[in-house]
Structure 1
Amino acid sequence: MLYLFGIFTSFYLFTLLLLKRNQSFADRMLSIWMVVMGLHQVIHYLDYAKISYQYPHLLGLGFALPLLHGVLLYFYVLALTAQKQLSLKLVLPHFIPFILLIGLAIPFYALSGKEKIEVFSNHGAGYEWYSLTQISLIILSGTAYVVWSLVLIRRSQLSLKKWHLQWLQYLSIGLAAIWMLVLFFDDGVIFSGVSLLVLLIGILGINQVPVFSGHFESNFTERDRNKMVAESSPVRYAKSGLKADASDELFARLELLMEKEAVYKNNELTLSELAAMLDVHANSLSQVINEKVGKNFYNYINTLRVGAFINLAAQPDKQHYSLLALAFECGFNSKSTFNKYFKAVMGETPSAHFGLLRS
């Protein structure tokens, strides 16, 4: 019964993520992980209930799946903490162990159904080498990705709120606990642990952190913003070597990009991503923004979003939309962030401003 609860919860959480508005890359990573979790549990349940023995070509389909859990956790944490820009070149090497394990299993997959049943009935007799390779890759990969994830989380303590940090820590520690079960227990205990982990993810993600319905919000306090402004001061760029004409040219390209592409509407836009679009170093772009508009990156982007929101809200065909829906369309990812920056730019709250206009 616990296995079935785990399977149901995995696909239920996947469905919530699939229906979520304004999906981010992190949401897609988590949804893929929930599908992998669900499929892994389904395959185990088929083996546990001996259903696979009636359809022997299902045997062994889950050999390489354990290698995906650590990778998907790592990319989920990486996407939320925005440590680096993700590209296909960056992502693909992480799946080499998964592909390798599938390749090594080809001799088993080539067996007849009767032969597969015999191998499973004899606890992998004749394929001991594969079992040793499999468990070694699972433990090494699982440990490495959990450690890397925890390192990213530790480095991001100022950029995410407390509950969001705890959420990522729970995921990482929960997966680490599963790898401990892999070392010392059989599949029955391991997958009972997986089912409990999925249930915990559902409880925490739905009730305490807006993972499956809301948006992660950066935790930039006044102290953090002051620190960012200070770091963007001319002293920081004294040795950058960016000349006045180059600065003017870069700012002109930046304004053109914002005008033509409106990239500020991407609610996950980072300084590094914007710099990559302009083919410049992030420090140079930060310098130009600070010098030309007197703002740090986050203030600059959110000021543009406020301007876009005001223009959008003034359109007659948008009057039936809520202010928050329009704010999300302009790139804001939470009500509190929207209200904070709108008031900073306009000197009053959105409801007060538009209440006066519409009255």
Structure 2
Amino acid sequence: MSAGALNWWQIIALFGVVQGTVVALALAARRPRRTPNLLLSALVLAFALHLASVVYYSADLVEWLPHFFGLTQPLPLAFGPLLYLYAITASGQQHGLRQRDLWHALPCVAFYVWGLPIYLQGSEGKVALYRAIQAGQLPLQSRVAIPLVLLSGVGYTVATLVALRRHQGVVAENYSSLERVNLQWLRWLALASAVVWLMALLFEAAGSAQWAVSLPGDLVVAVGITLVIHAIGFWGLRQPEIFRYVTAEHLVVPASPVSASPVSALPVQASDPALPRYERSGLPPREAETLKARLLALMEEEHLYRSAELTLGELAERLGTTPHRLSEVLNASLELSFYDFINGYRVREVQARLLGPDGARLTYLALALDAGFASKSTFNAVFKKHTGMTPSEYRRAAQV
């Protein structure tokens, strides 16, 4: 193939460059301007620049445009950190960037500094170095960069998945409906990244072992990145702010079942195994029992679970307590997360109405929405989790 002629792999990659640039600009321009959007914009722009470099080298454009040679080589070292920082800020685990987050950029910056002598070379020197690389004479910088890029990508992807998995418990402790706080988009993005890095590892291993591979590795990985960019363009732009409970009124409650309240009374001895679980937390037993009784009475009398957007913080406000104390009672006394506690009430209301006149008059979805469920899919999953049956199976079994 002559220099400048493009095959269909490269054309697909160019589509990714254009799409990535548009998506990056759209994310950066979103108002209000938030840290997760800016991080995702930077990640997509880095993807787009990398795709452009893949086309640049594979189409043998270095002699035409020598000044671009080597400029994007360290960029993949930014993929993993940007994905990780986007995930933890978008999921509410961290608000904004901190000074210590600059350490994530150190490998990428270090390689750019290391590459300065190459970037400052003239056109002839860059073309000569490119031809030497084509002949198999890799400079030390490239020999170090390749394994480091793979290690960084895999390591940060694993760290992202672990952080998202750990944070699932926090979601269940604070929300009664997950539609607006769904982490699925972030998990799919991290898994897609894992697939791309796995492909890169396999092609690198095949090259090191000198296996005959019919597909061009760089371009196959480029197509994978292009697909990720298209997914980000669809989902990233429509994804709402995932968490909204971190305010002065609604503090984040960790997933720990016995999180101590900073305003609780003197704790009882935690070493006594005969005490109930809440007695070994920071909440006095009598206060815990009183709060539990008030909680159950409020739920029965006012049916607060019918609010699809009910949060732990809102319920704590109604009870005149803190989210931490309420979470202690739920976890220690009732042995339920906030999510399971509220949805248990919703399921029981639907069960009761299924066996009454409403069961024949209203659809399952109407009954679910009245009880506080936000979607049919969530209702079906939660109902089966609590009863072991689908709504139709439950009604048939009850009528036998």
Matched, 1:27 2:37: yes
Counterpart position of 1:261: none
CA distance in 2, matches of 1:119, 1:217: 50
Q: Which amino acid aligns with 1:45?
A: V
TM-superposed deviation, 1:23: 2.9
Question: What runs of 5+ residues in structure 2 fail to find an aligned partner?
Answer: 1-10, 172-177, 204-216, 247-251, 269-281, 283-312, 327-371, 373-400
TM-superposed deviation, 1:58: 0.6
Task: Please say if residues 62 and 69 of structure 2, whose CA atoms lie closer than 8 Å, have aligned partners that are also in contact.
Answer: yes
Counterpart position of 2:75: 65
Counterpart position of 2:242: 216
CA distance in 2, matches of 1:237, 1:187: 62
Matched, 1:77 2:87: yes
Counterpart position of 1:271: none
TM-superposed deviation, 1:167: 0.9
Counterpart position of 2:109: 99
CA distance in 2, matches of 1:127, 1:2: 28
Matched, 1:53 2:63: yes
State the TM-score, normalizing by the size of structure 2: 0.53
CA distance in 2, matches of 1:234, 1:68: 39
Q: Which whole-Å deviations, capped at 9, do the CAs of 1:21-51 have from their partners, x for residues lacking one?
A: 3232111111111221222222322333333
What secondary structure, in the 3-state scheme, does the structure 2 residue paired with 1:156 have? helix
- Identity fraction in percent: 25
Q: 1:199 to 1:36 in 2, by over 3 A?
A: same
Q: Which amino acid aligns with 2:182?
A: H
Q: 1:20 to 1:129 in 2, by over 3 A?
A: same
Counterpart position of 1:165: 183
Task: Please say if residues 159 and 218 of structure 1, whose CA atoms lie closer than 8 Å, have aligned partners that are also in contact.
Answer: no
Counterpart position of 1:192: 223
The structure 1 residue matched to 2:132, chosen from 107, 122, 136, is 122
TM-superposed deviation, 1:238: 3.1
> In angstroms, what is the RMSD of aligned CA positions?
3.8
The structure 1 residue matched to 2:27, chosen from 3, 14, 17, is 17
Task: Please say if residues 228 and 296 of structure 1, whose CA atoms lie closer than 8 Å, have aligned partners that are also in contact.
Answer: no
Counterpart position of 2:195: 177
Counterpart position of 1:151: 162
TM-superposed deviation, 1:178: 1.8
Q: Which whole-Å deviations, capped at 9, do the CAs of 1:183-212 have from their partners, x for residues lacking one?
A: 233322221221122122223435xxx32x
Q: Which whole-Å deviations, capped at 9, do the CAs of 1:37-79 have from their partners, x for residues lacking one?
A: 2222223223333333212111101110000010000000110
The structure 1 residue matched to 2:51, chosen from 25, 35, 41, is 41
Task: Please say if residues 43 and 62 of structure 1, whose CA atoms lie closer than 8 Å, have aligned partners that are also in contact.
Answer: yes
Q: Which whole-Å deviations, capped at 9, do the CAs of 1:286-312 have from their partners, x for residues lacking one?
A: 9xx99x963438x9xxxxxxxxxxxxx
CA distance in 2, matches of 1:149, 1:5: 28
Q: Which amino acid aligns with 1:187?
A: D
TM-superposed deviation, 1:94: 0.9
Counterpart position of 2:380: none
Q: Which whole-Å deviations, capped at 9, do the CAs of 1:243-266 have from their partners, x for residues lacking one?
A: xxxxxxxxxxxxxxxxxxxxxxxx
Q: Which amino acid aligns with 1:6?
A: G
TM-superposed deviation, 1:105: 1.9
What secondary structure, in the 3-state scheme, does the structure 2 residue paired with 1:83 have? coil
Task: Please say if residues 81 and 159 of structure 1, whose CA atoms lie closer than 8 Å, have aligned partners that are also in contact.
Answer: no
CA distance in 2, matches of 1:44, 1:107: 22
Counterpart position of 1:112: 122
Counterpart position of 1:238: 266
Q: Which amino acid aligns with 2:158?
A: V
Task: Please say if residues 2 and 192 of structure 1, whose CA atoms lie closer than 8 Å, have aligned partners that are also in contact.
Answer: yes
TM-superposed deviation, 1:145: 0.7
Counterpart position of 1:349: none
CA distance in 2, matches of 1:238, 1:71: 43
Counterpart position of 1:280: none
TM-superposed deviation, 1:148: 0.9
How many residues were matched structurally?
244
Counterpart position of 2:367: none
What secondary structure, in the 3-state scheme, does the structure 2 residue paired with 1:123 have? helix
TM-superposed deviation, 1:87: 4.4
Q: Which amino acid aligns with 1:202?
A: G
CA distance in 2, matches of 1:138, 1:235: 47
Counterpart position of 1:329: none
Counterpart position of 2:321: 294
Task: Please say if residues 157 and 190 of structure 2, whose CA atoms lie closer than 8 Å, have aligned partners that are also in contact.
Answer: yes
Q: Which has the larger radius of gyration?
A: 2
Q: 1:130 to 1:24 in 2, by over 3 A?
A: same
Matched, 1:8 2:18: yes
Q: Which amino acid aligns with 2:106?
A: I
Question: What runs of 5+ residues in structure 1 fail to find an aligned partner?
Answer: 243-285, 300-339, 341-359
Counterpart position of 2:144: 133
Q: Which amino acid aligns with 2:231?
A: L
CA distance in 1, matches of 2:15, 2:265: 56
Q: 1:88 to 1:219 in 2, by over 3 A?
A: closer
TM-superposed deviation, 1:20: 2.3
CA distance in 2, matches of 1:123, 1:36: 24
Task: Please say if residues 90 and 241 of structure 2, whose CA atoms lie closer than 8 Å, have aligned partners that are also in contact.
Answer: no
Counterpart position of 2:275: none
